[in-house]
Amino acid sequence: MVKSEKGTGELGINTMLTHCGNDPYAYHGFVNPPVVRASTVLFPDAATMATENQKYTYGTHGTPTTDALCSAIDELEGSAGTLLVPSGLAAVTVPLLAFLKAGDHVLFVDTIYNPTRRFANTLLKQYGVEIEYYPPHIGADIAGLIRPNTRVVFTESPGSNTFEIQDIPAIVEAAHQHDIVVMMDNTWATPLYFKALDFGVDITIHAGTKYPSGHSDILFGMISANEKCWKQLENAYTALGMCVNSDDAYQILRGLRSMGLRLNHHQQSALTIARWLEQQPQIARVLHPALENHPDHALWKRDFKGASGVFSVVLASGGKEEAHKLLDTLKLFGLGYSWGGYESLAVHVQLGDRTVAAKSYEGPVIRLQIGLEDTQDLIDDLQQGLQAAFAV
């Protein structure tokens, strides 16, 4: 439940998603905010121009459309401010650039999104930042890795592709004792299922490309911060010249209206399919934290309000050949990166980039994005794929 600013008390999340980020009467009663495309903004006189004493001064600094989306995200996150960027990866890189400098030390969970690792291992190292990776189950023991020059702890929970759950409150407590900024890539859960700032996270990151868009047609990122970190983050964003176009912001705002309903379908369908996969002889294990036998299930249940539609399975045996046979047999699952759209996807994930969290699995790891199709149709498709992959 979230607090309404309209004086109606506590509102459910779908009610909030329906109404957040817009006052129709500010736009002559139109239900949706207008799409304002802008670069140049005019000033009424020279004095106003000299002081920039008006709400909008240039297109890179926002429009009524982008402000409507930022307002909506702030309501969902409980944040002091939100920034909009052109991709999920940009949502990762901007706050890291804002809070790190040469000589600083940063801790990354070893199960992060691979492009985040690539940015850390290339540009951040090139700029003189010391990079260190930690295992996802470290919890309060992260205190043992903190150095005098540690400035940021970067978390992602569940872990990318293998879905380990981190003890975010324990990590936050250890980091904040040393005034370290905690960032979290929270794309999997969204603020609907894990409201990161409520757990002490300072900066929360989302690929709007995924569930907020929901239709696989927009690249987008969002960064939200608490009061402590907001101004420094905003200053870096302005200096970097980051901005988004209003058409994309409008589409994300439009996607938010149905995100709660879509996420619920993704969640229920994914859980049904995950439980079915657990019973299949071709599957060694299902990596889904909402399953009762997942090693981190208790931690997930303690902190999360739900699960999205992305998880992985480990084949019981085989290698690349079996993985490719499975993928090539699927008819309803597209073979593609990303997730969060209406369509189901499958990909053979590679985990060779890991260091301190490296482990071996019984067979190939296949990540599934469960879309909005009928669940039984997806089960039938997976069954055919598994049979083809292990046909004698």
Q: Mind listing the pLDDT tens digit for each residue in 221-232?
A: 999 999 999 999
Cα 259–263–267 angle (5° rounding)? Answer: 180
Q: Which residue has the tokens 């927009």?
A: 218
Residues 6+ positions from 189 with CB-CB distance below 8 Å: 157, 158, 304, 306, 307, 308
pLDDT-based confidence at 19, cuts 50/70/90? confident
- What is the Cα–Cα distance from 374 to 326, expressed in whole angstroms? 20
Reply yes or no on whether the pLDDT at 356 is more than 50.
yes
Tens of pLDDT, residues 265-318: 999 999 999 999 999 999 999 999 999 999 999 999 999 999 999 999 999 999
Cα 376–207–146 angle (5° rounding)? Answer: 115
Average pLDDT, the chain: 95
pLDDT-based confidence at 9, cuts 50/70/90? low
For the full predicted model, state whether its pTM sits above 0.85: yes
Tell me how far CA of residue 323 lies from CA of 319, 364, 381, in angstroms: 6, 6, 15
Tokens of 62: 């926002």
pLDDT at 392: 53
What is the average per-residue pLDDT within 361-378? Answer: 98
pLDDT at 27: 82
Mode of pairing for the β-strands spanning 365-369 and 345-348: antiparallel
- What is the Cα–Cα distance from 187 to 205, expressed in whole angstroms? 7
Tell me how far CA of residue 189 lies from CA of 4, 101, 315, in angstroms: 22, 30, 25
- Closest among 368, 17, 337, 344 to 191, alpha carbons compared: 17
Cβ-contact 210, 339 below 8 angstroms: yes
- Single-letter residue type at 167: D
Cβ-contact 152, 183 below 8 angstroms: yes
Tokens of 277: 């996969």
Tens of pLDDT, residues 61-95: 999 999 999 999 999 999 999 999 999 999 999 99
Tens of pLDDT, residues 160-180: 999 999 999 999 999 999 999
Share of the chain above pLDDT 70, in %: 97
Cβ-contact 64, 37 below 8 angstroms: no
Reply yes or no on whether the pLDDT at 8 is more than 60.
no
